Structure 1
């Protein structure tokens, strides 16, 4: 299964269904199953800022108990949109409605970046330890998911 490594708290926000777009500086033509891996890095200062702090707290998380170095969730990567306009509190995606609210705050919607649309997000009952990598990478997750759920 294809996997993307994401710094915390963004990986957990996706796993919890609080973030539906992953923003990147690069596009991808890949569509299909995607696993969400939390890297070993945590941006602790962002965890203390709103709305990150309150959304994480709603689910029982703080900067000190975010899981790292594990695959947290699976989802479907269904599309990839170029950010065409960033208004500071919302952004326009090419061929898509505007991104607003926490979804906007949980991403980097600078013009020229890309928003990967994630659907059918399923948080794993038990995270799977894995070493992260750059770009999309492969993991034999399909065999392991059945064992953990």
Structure 2
């Protein structure tokens, strides 16, 4: 299975379906099933800011309860679009000219020239599965329980 490691709280925000676009400085042609791996780094300061603090709390999650160094979800990567425009509050993605605003905009780095990876069919794992992450897209041969 193809995988990507994402820092916390972003990996958990994907797992609970509050974040549907992962922004990266690089493009991928890969489309298909993708495992979301929570990296070992946790941005504690951002977890205390709104709306992230309230969103995590609504799911019964706290900073100390976020898994690190583990798979947290499986999803489908359906598109990877360049960010064409960004005015500081909204971003326009290439190909579809989709407009990103609000919470989703705040959960990514939609700077012009970056890429927005669209994630669908997000399924949170029953329990985090410990694993060592890697940079870029990587492969994992283990089993994940949905």
Same fold (TM over 0.5): yes
1:137 maps onto 2:135 in alignment = no
Aligned to 1:69: 69
Structure-1 residue corresponding to 2:24:
24
**Which residue number corresponds to residue 53 of structure 1?**
53
**TM-score normalised according to structure 1 size:** 0.94
Per-residue deviation, 1:61: 1.4
Number of equivalenced pairs: 145
Deviation digits for residues 88-138 of structure 1 (CA, Å, limit 9, x no counterpart)? 111110123200111000000011000000000000102111001000010
For 1:1-149, list aligned pairs within 5 A: 1-96=1-96, 97-141=98-142, 144-145=143-144, 148-149=145-146
Q: Distance in 2 between matches of 1:92 and 1:5?
A: 25
In structure 1, C-alpha distance between the alignment counterparts of 2:129 and 2:64, rounded to whole Å: 19
Q: Distance in 1 between matches of 2:138 and 2:57?
A: 31
Distance in 2 (CA, whole Å) between partners of 1:62 and 1:24 is 26
Structure 2 alignment gaps of length 5 or more = none
Q: What SS does structure 2 have at the residue aligned with 1:64?
A: helix
Deviations along 1:32-77, whole A, 9 cap, x unmatched?
A: 1000000010001111111111111111112221110100110000
